[in-house]
Amino acid sequence: MNEQKPKAVILLSGGLDSATILAIAKTSGFDCYPLTFDYGQRHRIELKAATAVAAHLQAHPVKQITLDLRAFGGSALTDDIDVPKDRTELTNENDIPVTYVPARNTILLSFALGYAEVIGATAIFIGANAVDYSGYPDCRPEFITAFEQLANLATAAGVSGEKLAIHAPLIDLTKAEIIQKGSALGVDYGLTHSCYDPVDDKACGACDSCLLRRKGFDAAGVPDPTVYVDV
């Protein structure tokens, strides 16, 4: 059966959004190949979550790429500077969040493109979201469109005429809508992890990512399975 399904590479961080896109890709009929990254971020616990989510949703085993984005500097998620705990501190003078990692989605999609080419995938799924991450330039719909155009020029698949599609099915959804969609598709959000600053494998409950997640479950009317340190 699986051999007749089109293949898709899924950018799976182990967070709530990427677990949802894996469920969407599976439901859409794709044979799913998750790709995750160890890029020196503080939340390595996400890598374990990605493996659990992939198993739960019966995808292929997670392929992991090790990167060292700290070589550049420039982000609270990879540098040794404090992760902001208050959304009002999140932006600098150009309204770019300090948690923004330079060229992050471009780099991750580039690796997904290489993996797609090797396994013969015709789709890449990314959990980019322009609602909650409106300050991130590489979460905008026009960025996704530009990458799709690039992808079809960049690869051998592009030369031989097969089109590759970049799917960002969450791009215009609120966190509550994402949670409702994933819950309807059977995602176990208890396996996922979103916190930027976990303590003893528990979510801090106070970072930007935890706040978005908490508000999302509340607004969705879905019980939040996350274990927070402050609860």
By CB under 8 A, name the binding residues for a copy of itself. Answer: 63-69, 71-74, 94-96, 100-107, 109-111, 113-115, 117-118, 137-138, 140, 142-143, 146-147, 149-151, 153-156, 158-160
In the bound complex, what is the minimum distance in angstroms from residue 94's beta carbon to a copy of itself?
A: 5
In the bound complex, what is the minimum distance in angstroms from residue 129's beta carbon to a copy of itself?
A: 16
* Residue placing its CB nearer to a copy of itself in the complex, 104 or 181: 104
Alpha carbon 78 to its chain's center: 16
In the bound complex, what is the minimum distance in angstroms from residue 8's beta carbon to a copy of itself?
A: 16
On whether the CB atoms of residues 58 and 26 are closer than 8 A, the answer is: yes
* Residue placing its CB nearer to a copy of itself in the complex, 23 or 139: 139
In the bound complex, what is the minimum distance in angstroms from residue 150's beta carbon to a copy of itself?
A: 4
Residue 135: how many other CB atoms lie within 10 Å: 16
Query: 193 has which bridge partners?
Result: none
* Residue placing its CB nearer to a copy of itself in the complex, 117 or 188: 117
d(CA 59, CA 26): 8
On whether the CB atoms of residues 70 and 79 are closer than 8 A, the answer is: yes
Query: 97 has which bridge partners?
Result: 91
* Residue placing its CB nearer to a copy of itself in the complex, 121 or 204: 121
Q: Which residues contact 120 (CB under 8 A, 6 or more apart)?
A: 7, 157
